[in-house]
Amino acid sequence: MLQPDSALVNEWFPVMAADRLGAEPQAVELLGVRIAVFRMGGKIRAFRDLCIHRGVPLSMGRVEGNRLVCAYHGWSYNDCGQCVRIPAQPAYKAIPEKAKAQAFRCTEQEGLIWVSLGEPSGSPLSLGEFESAAFRKVHCDPYPVQAAGPRVVENFLDVSHLMFVHEGLLGDPEAAEINDHRVRREEGILVSDEIEVYQSDGDGTGQGIVNRYIYKVLGPFAAWLEKRDSVNPGHAFGLLLAVNPHSERHCTAFAVIYRNYDLDKPDEIFSSFQDRLIEQDKAIVEAQKPELLPLDLQAELHLVSDRIAIAYRQWLRELGVSFGTA
């Protein structure tokens, strides 16, 4: 049985948008482990996607009341994963103790379903003021990417690519210089100083403005971008990126947009803008070599403008993350 990266086993990862989980179990993959996600008794459950009897995926089965029923021989599992009914066996016979499905910790937050393969501490995220009702949340469609998860996260943290990959949208090649900044560790996460960036269309509304960026690394595969501008000091924009690493070279990125302004404008303006940006980013990260993110800082050349990426790589190395890294 595949053993996931020990440095990541107790982390939370998003596996799907909560509104996409209907009445039927859904199959997802996390760190090379196949998982069946379903609702039972009004709660989300996550089992290893395997019936111990003959190896059929439990995601092929169905939920009946407070039981998940395997499609092959009708074995029924309760919400803890224990088998409670074997139709082919007489009712007076005891069900073997070994007849159980492995259950994983799962929860719902920010419109996403999160799963941990181990024993996580606390909730997946803490976004402060952005969790309040003052902010409109826009959930983008999941983005499948044929690249290592750490490459996707680092690209999100890379401010100096905005002027070239997203030219005319998030940056101007003639204003590419990055002001000096530092990255600090704060309550278990990485936080950057403010970085000023001129953007001709910073959020999809078509307004050219100088934005002040703050980046945060919330976890090995989750990052946050917060930006404000001096013209509209009360306006705040946040973007959550959380990655589900299916395998070392294939992942799905989830993005949630937060804003407290232009609430009368259609959310599709912001989500479609993000779609456009992700397509531009995908072309880059899917072409990067080596495919796995090098944690040895001598393997690639770094500049002062890469402080966030450097801090991210150092942190992954300290954590001992090997999945998606080299």
Rounded mean pLDDT of 1-13? 83
Kindly state whether residue 299 falls inside one of the protein's structural domains.
Answer: yes
Mean per-residue pLDDT over the chain, rounded: 94
175 and 220 assigned to the same domain: yes
88 and 144 assigned to the same domain: no
81 and 148 assigned to the same domain: no
Domain boundary (69, 84, 116) is at 116
Kindly state whether residue 54 falls inside one of the protein's structural domains.
Answer: yes
pLDDT per position as a tens digit, 231-274: 888 999 999 999 999 999 999 999 999 999 999 999 999 999 99
Query: Which domain, by its residues, includes 21?
Result: 13-116
90 and 225 assigned to the same domain: no
pLDDT per position as a tens digit, 203-216: 677 777 888 999 99
Determine the pLDDT at residue 1: 44
39 and 150 assigned to the same domain: no
pLDDT per position as a tens digit, 156-209: 999 999 999 999 888 889 888 999 999 999 988 999 999 998 887 766 777 778
Rounded to whole angstroms, the Cα distance separating 51 from 122 reads 30
Rounded to whole angstroms, the Cα distance separating 108 from 19 reads 10
CATH of residue 280's domain is 3.90.380.10
111 and 245 assigned to the same domain: no
67 and 173 assigned to the same domain: no
167 and 108 assigned to the same domain: no
Domain total of the chain:
2
